[in-house]
Structure 1
Amino acid sequence: MGDPHSGLHSEQGAHRGEHPGRASDPVIKAHDLAWLEFTKPDLRKAEEFAAAFGFATALRTADELHLRGTDSGAPCVLIRKGPRERFLGPAFRAVDGRDVLRLANVAGTTVRPLPESVGGVSTTLVDPSGLPVKVVADMDELRALPAQTPLTINAGHGASRVNALQRPRREPARVQRLGHVVIQTTRYRETLDWYLRHLGLIVSDFLYYPGQRERGPVMSFIRCDRGDAPTDHHTLALTLGPANRYVHSAYQVADLDALAAGGEYLQDHGYRRSWGIGRHILGSQVFDYWRDPDGFLVEHFSDGDLFDCSLEPGWAPMTVSGLAQWGPRATKDFLGVGPAELIAVANGLREDNEFDLHRLRGMLKAAVS
Structure 2
Amino acid sequence: MARTHADVHEKLHSERGARKHEHTGRSRNPVIKVADIAWLEFEKPDLIRAEAFARAFGFQAAMRAPDELHLRGTDAGAPCVILRGGERSRFTGVAFRADDEVDVLRLADHTGAPVLALPEAIGGLGVSLADPSGVSVRVVAGTHPLPELPAQQPHVINVGHASTRINATQRPRRVPARVQRLGHVVLQSNRYLETLNWYLDHLGLIVSDFLYFPGQRDRGPAMSFIRCDRGATPTDHHTLALALGPANRYVHSAYQVADLDALAAGGEYLSERGYLRSWGIGRHIQGSQLFDYWRDPDGFMVEHFTDGDLFDNTLEPGWAPFTASGLAQWGPPVTADFLGTHPRSAGHEVRSMLTALRGDNEFDVHRLLGLLKAAKS
Query: RMSD over aligned Cα, in angstroms?
Result: 0.7
The answer on 1:314 being equivalent to 2:318 is yes
| Residue 259 of structure 1, CA deviation | 0.1
Give unmatched runs, 5+ long, in structure 2: 1-12
Give unmatched runs, 5+ long, in structure 1: 1-8
Distance 2:122 2:81 in 1: 12
Give the aligned partner of residue 261 of structure 1.
Answer: 265
| Residue 12 of structure 1, CA deviation | 1.1
SS in 1 for 2:281: strand
Give the aligned partner of residue 361 of structure 1.
Answer: 369
Q: How does 1:281-360 map to 2 (within 5 A)?
A: 281-337=285-341, 338-360=346-368
Distance 2:154 2:350 in 1: 42
SS in 1 for 2:199: helix
Give the aligned partner of residue 121 of structure 2.
Answer: 117
Distance 1:197 1:178 in 2: 23
TM-score normalised over the length of structure 2: 0.95
Give the aligned partner of residue 205 of structure 1.
Answer: 209
SS in 2 for 1:348: helix
Distance 2:191 2:311 in 1: 27
Q: How does 1:1-369 map to 2 (within 5 A)?
A: 10-337=14-341, 338-369=346-377
Give the aligned partner of residue 3 of structure 2.
Answer: none
Distance 1:13 1:95 in 2: 31
| Residue 346 of structure 1, CA deviation | 1.2
| Residue 11 of structure 1, CA deviation | 3.0
Give the aligned partner of residue 8 of structure 2.
Answer: none
SS in 1 for 2:128: strand
| Residue 219 of structure 1, CA deviation | 0.3
| Residue 285 of structure 1, CA deviation | 0.4
Moved over 4 A (4+): none
Distance 1:82 1:195 in 2: 28
- The residue type paired with residue 180 of structure 1 is H
Identity %: 70
- After superposition, the C-alpha distances for 1:158-209 in whole angstroms (9 at most, x for unaligned) are 1110000000010000000000000000000000000000000000000000
SS in 1 for 2:267: helix
- After superposition, the C-alpha distances for 1:227-271 in whole angstroms (9 at most, x for unaligned) are 000000000000000010000000000000000000000011111
SS in 2 for 1:298: strand
| Residue 347 of structure 1, CA deviation | 1.1
Aligned length: 361
